[in-house]
Structures are given as structure tokens and as C-alpha cells.
Amino acid sequence: AQGFLHPKRQATLRWAPAGAAEREEGLLGELNPVLGEELGLRVPVALAEISLDLFLTESKNPVKFQEVSPFPSIWRDLNLIVDESVSHGEILGQIRAHGGPWVRQAVFFDLYRGKPLEEGKKAMTFTLEYGSPERTLTDDEVNQARERLLENLKEKIGVSLR
């Protein structure tokens, strides 16, 4: 137990690689409220310490780097209405698989349930970054790529545009 952490709100992170002994790789918890009070803090503070060696030595995927493009990105939002059973991961998977070569990244950033949406539906918003390493894309090219993606999402998942 760490004295600077809350006595009942702390954990030790342990890792046991295949065939090796378990070892301590970090800790997390809430700052001890007595210490927090002494420091003049008025709200609970969470702390974490994690060994980076764990990520560097145990990662099965090599670190990949991608050169930064000298050409600007174009951002588009996709505000979709989907069945309650559809996860954001399912949509992100479809975007990655069928978004085309210009989708640099896709980020889920908003979820809405309630009126005026039908019962059993929810609205999910994603931001897509489009770009090319060879040239600046036009608005028309990005809009066409977005429409192709939207058609795919309608066909595969049954989304509609909000």
C-alpha cells in the first residue's frame, strides 16, 4: 500500500508474461484525502504510474511511423442515425475498411438518444479527416468519397444521415 494514496482506493498493476513470473508494472489510485487537504486541494485527485517498459517490450505490434503530409487535410462530420444495437466500433470498422484511401483518421465524438429520434434509435457523430500524401484534395473529391462511404454504411449497417 502506498501512503500517499487513499487506503481503500488504490491498486497495483501487475503483469505476468507467458511463462514468466508476475511483476509489478505500476499503480493507480486516488490521492489520500489527508494529503490532498494539506496541499489545499478541494477535489479528489486520481494518480497513475505505469511502466513504459511494459509497452515497449511486450507489444506484439511494431511501432509504425507515418510521414506528415505537406498537403492540408479536409474534415467532414458524419452525423448518423442507427439502431440502438449498433456500436461505434462497428461503424469505425466499416469506415476503416471502406472509407477509401483518403480517410486518414475517423473519430467517434458524440452520442445522442432522445427526442426527436425514434424509440430504439440513437445518433452518433464521427469526424473524418481526409487527405492525400500527393496533392491537395478538392471539396468535390472529398464530398464524393463521403457519399460513397455513406452509401456503404447504409447498405452494410442500415444507417441514415441525420
Domain locations in the chain as residue ranges: 5-58, 74-161
Q: E strands along 16-151, which residues? A: 23-31, 46-50, 74-83, 103-112, 121-130
At residue 71, the pLDDT reads: 94
Q: What does the alpha-carbon distance between residue 65 and residue 58 come to, in Å, rounded to a whole number?
A: 19
On average, the pLDDT of the chain sits at 88
Topology of the domain covering 74-161: Alpha-Beta Plaits (3.30.70)
At residue 39, the pLDDT reads: 92
Q: Please report which confidence band the pLDDT of residue 25 belongs to, taking 50, 70 and 90 as the band edges.
A: confident
Q: Give me the residue label for grid cell 477535489.
A: 43
Q: Please report which confidence band the pLDDT of residue 1 belongs to, taking 50, 70 and 90 as the band edges.
A: low
